[in-house]
Amino acid sequence: MMGVIQGIWHWLTTTLKLMTYNKAGFIGFLATCAILIICLIGPFFIPLDTKTKLDQIYQPPSAEHWFGTDHQGRDIFSQIVHGGKDVIYVAAIAAFLSTFIAVTFGTLAAFAGGKVDSGIMGVTDIILTIPQFPLLAVLAAFITFDNITYLGLFLGALSWPALLRAVRSQALSLKERDFVEAARALDLGTGHIVFRELVPNMMTYIVISFTLALTAAVYTQVGLVLLGLVPVSSSNWGVMISLAWTQGAIFFRDAMWRIMMPILAIALFQLSVITMTRSLELAFNPRLRTMV
């Protein structure tokens, strides 16, 4: 047990040390961690303001209301804190599923070749030609996405084709390396070669692709919510933007904070994640890890 704990601790310290090599990337990592803590743990300490206060409608940021108030005088900061959990949860599910499908079948297609490769790439090309957002908009008329888990799974099930093609290209270049030939000579099996030889050597690219899939899923779900195609909790960032638009906040001079705060929250989360990829590229590079 102690050996496992020491191994995990060594992995964490090595990863953090490598991430500090890129200052901008490490700042992005810290910002991402801060946003996750605020959105996942913050709701336990900051109650959601649901009380209507007509004398505080569209108040600017102040010591009492950090991000101002909305059309009913409710605190926007508490809505931002409670609205991030669902957005991040759906995006994480979609990113995990799409990355898993793309990595598994993209590597298998490259390694197996032949009919397996042709079949996988044929299905990939068909799905790749289907416009995702219009398809989701049409399906929303027939499917009720009343469960955010289902929404994340559905987004992930449609988001993998482009990444699969990229992973396949990476795997094709790796399958000719000496370590893969040695694994074949030892008859270690397809599963071992795919998941123990090829995938670890593509981990840097996979992690970066995961973060890009995460940001894409955020934009997609917020767009669906903004258009009213997905019914989700009232504190969701996308719902906040949608309500601000439908309630005519854009026509009120003092309503700028009501509109901009959820937009800035989404933009800051996206910027932090994208910036963090600079450090992730270093942290998951096998050559650098052996040097630390």
In this prediction, residue 96 carries a pLDDT of: 92
154: CB partners within 8 A, 6+ apart: 136, 139, 143, 145
Contact present, 271 and 264 (Cβ < 8 Å): no
Residue 191 token pair: 């599963």
List the alpha helices (DSSP H) in 129-202: 132-139, 148-158, 161-174, 178-185, 190-192, 199-201
What does the domain layout of the chain look like in residue ranges? 45-273
CATH T-level topology, domain 45-273: MetI-like fold (1.10.3720)
And the tokens for 216?
């894409």
- Quick one: pLDDT at residue 58? 77
Question: Which amino acid is located at 60 in the chain?
Answer: P
pLDDT computed for residue 93 by the predictor: 92
Measured CA to CA, the distance from residue 204 to residue 207 in angstroms comes to 5
Q: What is the reported pTM?
A: 0.83
The residues, any chain, with a CB within 8 Å of residue 263's CB and separated by 6 or more, are 241
One-character DSSP codes across 50-75: ----GGGTTPPP-SSSTT-B-TTS-B
**pLDDT value, residue 209:** 83
Q: Give how far Cα 266 sits from Cα of 48, 68, 181, Å.
A: 19, 17, 46
Distance CA 4, CA 220 (A): 39
Between CA 31 and CA 268 the distance in angstroms is: 9
pLDDT at res. 285: 67
What does the pLDDT read at residue 284? 74
Measured distance CA(17)–CA(38) in Å, rounded = 24
User: What is the per-residue pLDDT for 97?
Assistant: 92
pLDDT in tens, the chain (292 residues): 666 677 677 767 777 777 788 888 889 899 999 999 998 898 888 888 778 777 777 777 788 878 888 777 788 888 888 888 888 888 899 999 999 998 888 888 887 878 888 898 888 888 888 887 777 777 777 776 667 888 888 888 888 888 888 888 888 887 777 777 777 777 777 777 777 777 777 887 888 888 888 888 888 888 887 777 766 555 688 778 877 777 777 777 777 778 888 888 888 998 998 888 888 777 776 665 555 5
